[in-house]
Chain A
């Protein structure tokens, strides 16, 4: 079983729509959860962190965490062409950050 699994992509959404990304993790002792954005040919960039159950909003991004279900999600509202990238879910267990394979999002103008 993979440590972090993301919904398979690619995901194509029209400009202005909501992009919904999902992630599950296997280690129940995981402490903190992150979403990274990675543009093609670039390194990952941290965009959201969430540590407790519930929702966390930051601009057009909302992260949701449900530790009982071992589930993390990211919503991108009012999607823009500049949001076209691969989104990586990452889970921290105290010493290392484990990443999912990523979901590639394409926002159609």
Chain B
């Protein structure tokens, strides 16, 4: 399968713990995005990479959140000192930068985080 893959699919943690999610994009895609989605809402932009460069971060992204994409391949999203408000589905998506079609994002199945 050559789609976007995310790991783990589900994570339950206690408040204050750190968690890390991994995303493997479609191999030829150079843009990688992280979104967060809560029940009844659309996905909310967190950050994106073009190759290994992190080009934009949402102002909503607190200092407890950090993302990396070493060597422009897979990406990780780490949340430090988790809070109950961090409970959400974390979605990774990738796209190929070419003209207007760049907005065609392909999503992974998501990583659902529950903070107790």
Contacts and interface: CB of A to CB of B under 8 A. Distances in A.
B56 A95 contact: yes
Interface in A64-109: 88, 90, 92, 94-102
A34 interface: yes
Interface residues of A, number: 24
A56 to B, nearest CB: 13
Contacts of A100: 42
**Chain B interface, DSSP helix/strand/loop, else mixed:** mixed
B5 to A, nearest CB: 11
Contacts of B16: none
A90 B106 CA distance: 13
Nearest to B56: A95
A49 interface: yes
Interface in B18-77: 33, 40-45, 48, 55-56
Interface of B: 33, 40-45, 48, 55-56, 91, 100-110
